[in-house]
Amino acid sequence: MIDLEQVLTRAGRRRYPEQSQRAARALSERAVDNGLIDVAITAIDSPVGPIMLAATRRGLIRVSFAQGLDPAGFAAQLCAEVSPRVLEAPGYFDPNRKELDEYFEGRRTRFDLPLDWSLTGGFTRRVLKETARIPYGKVSTYGQVATAAGNPRAFRAAGNALGSNPIPIFVPCHRVIRTGGDIGNYGGGPETKRWLLQLEGAI
């Protein structure tokens, strides 16, 4: 009898994580469907390392390269910036995950899912909107982006705007380089920026 109890206990332990994950996923999906949360978050793996995603009903609102960024810190940031009603909901991001997979495999040259621009404003938003128009496989300079955004002399401000881009990859700030060809800085690190530009055939 003791042996049977041990077998049942071990079997229960094996099933518990899977059942727990299914229950958590179902709970998060129901919360999203019923409008009980304002921000959904998840983490995904990619060729450039872990990436954290956040979305509202309007669309994707924040993308962060997760080196050194824990999920709790990411959620806390969104609580302060957007709303305290934040919940991990991996299933909500299946369309984003699909588009990112296609992009990283070289099969997608533009993203089609909606973006939420509410973490940007003023000149920063104009810079990022112009950046979003840079075609796949092409690059622009900070000066060119500043000019397109309406202020040719504000190339340093354009650089700051790009440095604070809340939706990298989807808003391709990696396609903006310095005059002369130096790739410049990037939130995910220069290696990631170079990798993305090489993926797109821009360098």
> How many domains is the chain built from?
2
Mean pLDDT computed over 154-171: 95
The verdict on 92 and 134 lying in the same domain is no
Last residue of a domain, one of 71, 104, 137: 104
The verdict on 163 and 78 lying in the same domain is no
Last residue of a domain, one of 104, 138, 162: 104
pTM over 0.75: yes
Catalytic site residues? 173
Encoding tokens for residue 162? 């790009």
For residue 87, pLDDT over 80 is answered with yes
The verdict on 181 and 146 lying in the same domain is yes
User: CA 27, 112, 45: angle at the middle one, nearest 5?
Assistant: 55
94: domain CATH number?
A: 3.30.160.70
The verdict on 25 and 92 lying in the same domain is yes
pLDDT at 15: 54
pLDDT tens, 36-60? 689 999 999 999 999 999 999 999 9
For residue 32, pLDDT over 70 is answered with no
pLDDT at 6: 52
The verdict on 80 and 130 lying in the same domain is no
3-state secondary structure of 59: coil
Mean pLDDT computed over 87-114: 95
For residue 1, pLDDT over 50 is answered with no
The verdict on 140 and 100 lying in the same domain is no
Asked if 183 and 193 touch (Cβ cutoff 8 Å), the reply is yes
Whether 159 is covered by a domain: the verdict is yes
Whether 113 is covered by a domain: the verdict is no
Quote the domain boundaries for residue 137.
Answer: 122-199
150: domain CATH number?
A: 1.10.10.10
The verdict on 97 and 22 lying in the same domain is yes
The verdict on 11 and 77 lying in the same domain is yes
Whether 117 is covered by a domain: the verdict is no
The verdict on 99 and 140 lying in the same domain is no
Find all residues with CB under 8 Å of 126, minimum gap 6, and list them: 149, 150
Last residue of a domain, one of 104, 131, 155: 104
The verdict on 138 and 193 lying in the same domain is yes
Mean pLDDT computed over 145-162: 94
pLDDT at 88: 92
